[in-house]
A = this chain, B = another copy of it.
Amino acid sequence: MSTTFPEGARIARSVLSDETYGVIRDLVLEHRIAPGSRVNIDSLSAELGVSPTPVREALARLESDGLVVKVPLRGYSTTPLLTVREFVELTQFRVLIEQWTAAQASASISPETTAALRAELAAGRATTGAREAGPDAFRALTDHDARFHALIAKSAGNDLIAQSFERTHFHLHFLRLYLASHSTDADGDADHRRLNAVLEEYDRSGQVSRTIDNHAAIAEAIIVGDADGASQLMREHIEFSRVRFLPVVEMIASLG
């Protein structure tokens, strides 16, 4: 008997293959299944209380999403954590796309978009109320961050580009990295001590309030229709995120 997953992971049977898809997706994204590890179809189906068939279909879709990889006749594995190179490439992609979405959103600003941006900013500020650091705070921050950037992407008026941007799941990849870094046992190992030092530096560097301030500035530029300003601020925002987070990624890569 392997009660690996919590009871909440069980499925309310309605449209089983879709439900299964969502559950497995969350299991991967939330690190319940470790990055780079094998995914056993039989175990998973037994764990979720369904037959292998919907699990198979769910995994096929997850492969197209880039969350698992399939080796024929050998099964599925979750994709490994982002490498440093992939992290840099993802940041490049974000700069390219989001400079454009910010400018476009500015050019076609509407009262509805303005209201939505202000509401999301308020939600973001609410997360800073509790000033603690660590996984929970980081999760709340990335949730807000994901919603904020997705909102701008949708406001740019090009659904295709918005979809292409959202399907990178950049915030989920960052969350996976961060969770992985915090879940490493903090024993006396010199590597782990250095990682913890990097993490504490990251957590304490005022990242949360800094991010919210950046968002506020970007939103204001968009609302007043300052396309060039919004574009420039967006670029700086992403670059800042890259500079702050890169040491964490490098440490993780050197450990793994």
Residue positions of A touching B, CB distance < 8 A? 13, 15, 17-18, 53, 56-58, 60-61, 63-65, 72-73, 86, 89-90, 92-93, 96-97, 100, 158-161, 164, 168
Known: A56-B57, A57-B57, A64-B61. A160 touches B164 (CB 8 A): no
Smallest CB gap from A63: residue in B: B61
Taking A86-B160, A90-B160 as known contacts, 15 extra A-B pairs with beta carbons closer than 8 A to each other, sorted by chain A number, are A15-B73, A53-B53, A53-B56, A56-B57, A57-B60, A60-B61, A61-B61, A61-B63, A61-B64, A89-B160, A92-B158, A93-B160, A96-B97, A160-B168, A164-B164
Asked if A15 contacts B164 (CB within 8 A), the reply is no
Contact among B18, B56, B61 for A72, CB-based, below 8 A: B18
CB proximity of A34 to chain B, nearest CB, Å? 23
Collect the chain B residues with CB atoms within 8 Å of residue A72's CB: 13, 15, 18
* Residue of B with least CB distance to A159: B89
Which residue in chain B gives the minimum CB-CB distance to A65?
B64
- Known contacts A53-B53, A60-B61; is A158 also within 8 Å of B93 by CB? yes
Chain B residues, Cβ within 8 Å of A168: 160, 164
- Point out the residues of chain B lying under 8 angstroms from A18, CB to CB: 72
CB distance from A198 to the nearest CB of B (A): 25
Bound together, the chains give a CA A105 to CA B75 distance in angstroms of: 37
Q: Complex Cα distance A18/B72, Å? A: 8
21 A-B residue pairs with Cβ-Cβ distance under 8 Å, sorted by A, are A13-B72, A13-B73, A15-B72, A15-B73, A18-B72, A53-B53, A53-B56, A56-B57, A57-B57, A60-B60, A61-B63, A61-B64, A89-B158, A89-B159, A89-B160, A89-B161, A93-B158, A93-B160, A96-B161, A164-B164, A164-B168
Instruction: Given A13-B72, A72-B13, A72-B18, check contact A93 B57 (CB 8 Å).
Output: no
Docked CA distance A158–B89 (Å): 6
How far, in whole Å, are A70 and B15 apart by their CA atoms in the complex? 12
Most B CB contacts (10 A, CB to CB) among A13, A17, A93 go to A93
